[in-house]
Amino acid sequence: MPVRRGETLTVDRSPDAPGTVVVTGISRPLGARVAARLAADPRIRRVVGVDAVEPGPELVALLGGVERVLADLGSASTIIADLHAEAVVHLAVLTAPDQQHGGRTAMKEQNVIGTMQLLAACQQAPRLRKLVIRSSTAAYGASFRDPAVFTEETEPREVPRGGFARDILDIEGYVRGFRRRRPEITATVLRFAPFVGSTIDTTLTRYFAQPVVPTVLGRDPRLQFVHVDDALEVLHRSVTEEHGGTYNVAGAGVLALSQAIRRAGRVAVPVLEPGLSAAAGFARSLSVGRYGFDQVDLFVHGRVVDTTRLINEYGFTPRSTAAAFDDFISGHAGGTVVRADQLAAAEQAILDGIRRVRAAVEERS
């Protein structure tokens, strides 16, 4: 690469690293951490974080080097034009409705309408070179006829029931249209498996953090996770390097749900699926609760993706699903009901007991 090192410029500008990066969704932990990480990269001159909501105090501490703009995505076009942004990282995608902030309606507004507005702004931006979109493996939907492993080419067989999955399909549809209209812009769509990690708090980590975990009776889905630090690394590389296209981002390997619950030392409580779906529908109509059809479908069908393309193209291998989940367990050891060492001790105690009893019996005979 023609990087001219040793020049009097303040930073080395590799041809791929953009000068000004706009990051959306910095009021949420993922957006804030990505913005902070990009700001710490000397190749990037300026990082601007956009969000309609002020980030919480614990995130503000992270955002030292980031310029913050308080605006919704409707005014994104002026921001992106004024800043002469060269890259946009779109992370303002909500995975679950937030009941304090308008529930599902607001979630759809932000996910679908927000993305539409942002892409419209990007289409107008003359200096834009890169667009990175956060998507999810929920884009593959959930059907009984699905192949066991999804590659990036797999089309969903049915329109999913979950709100988030529908939003993801809409978002990816808009990105396809954008790619047609601005083919010279490198558009990267990252389909992330559910995030885990010792520090992150999501619907799924809260689910696994409970001591007693509800599951679907007669189903043991195959799950994959990605460690949030690996997700940050992939997002970072997507901005500083050239990787157009759609990529699955997940840790290699698979954990069955029952296995994950056991590894976390929790207790599974199987629930009948129709009951769970009814409960999810009921919770949605009352707009309470954290679990919806997205979670029920994941826990019936499971979801496993192929990450060969990511590994080959990025030259980066995320840590395995099992390793990522172990890190999550280490951060949430408090709710453990059964620990592995207790089981080992019980095993030893039973073996010793058998030996003692037999020794006593044979002593008598």
Q: Which residues bind another protein (CB under 8 A)?
A: 144-149, 151, 154, 216-220, 222, 253-256, 258-263, 273, 302, 304, 338, 340, 343-344, 346-347, 350-352, 354-356, 358-359, 362-363, 365
Cβ distance to another protein smaller for residue 218 or 315: 218
Give least dist CB 343 to another protein, A: 5
Cβ distance to another protein smaller for residue 70 or 354: 354
Give least dist CB 295 to another protein, A: 17
> 């008598």: which residue's tokens?
364
Give least dist CB 162 to another protein, A: 19
Give least dist CB 312 to another protein, A: 16
Cβ distance to another protein smaller for residue 233 or 306: 306
Give least dist CB 217 to another protein, A: 6
Nearest to 162 by CA among 301, 259, 307, 321: 301
Phi/psi region, residue 310 (left: phi>0; alpha: psi -120 to 50; beta: rest), is alpha
Helix (H, G, I), strand (E, B) or coil at 345: helix
Give least dist CB 156 to another protein, A: 14
Cβ distance to another protein smaller for residue 288 or 344: 344
Q: Is the dihedral of CA 23, 28, 34, 38 positive or negative?
A: positive
Give least dist CB 169 to another protein, A: 20
Cβ distance to another protein smaller for residue 210 or 258: 258
Cβ distance to another protein smaller for residue 61 or 269: 269
Dihedrals φ, ψ of 75, to 5°? -95, 15
Dihedrals φ, ψ of 141, to 5°? 65, -165
How many Cα atoms sit within 13 Å of 286 on the Cβ side?
9
Query: String of b and e for 306-338 (b: at least 16 CB within 10 Å)?
Result: bbebbeebbeeebbbbbebbbbbbeebeeeeee
Cβ distance to another protein smaller for residue 75 or 258: 258
Cα 26 to Cα 23: distance, rounded to the nearest angstrom: 7
Dihedrals φ, ψ of 90, to 5°? -100, 105
Give least dist CB 149 to another protein, A: 5
> 């834009």: which residue's tokens?
128
Give least dist CB 210 to another protein, A: 17
Nearest to 136 by CA among 201, 258, 220, 226: 226
Cβ distance to another protein smaller for residue 45 or 222: 222
Q: DSSP readout, 103-142?
A: HHHHHHIIIIIHHHHHHHHHHH-TT--EEEEEEEGGGG--
Cβ distance to another protein smaller for residue 61 or 354: 354
Cα 199 to Cα 327: distance, rounded to the nearest angstrom: 9
C-alpha distances in Å from residue 234, one per residue of 35, 143, 289, 317, 318 = 13, 29, 32, 10, 9
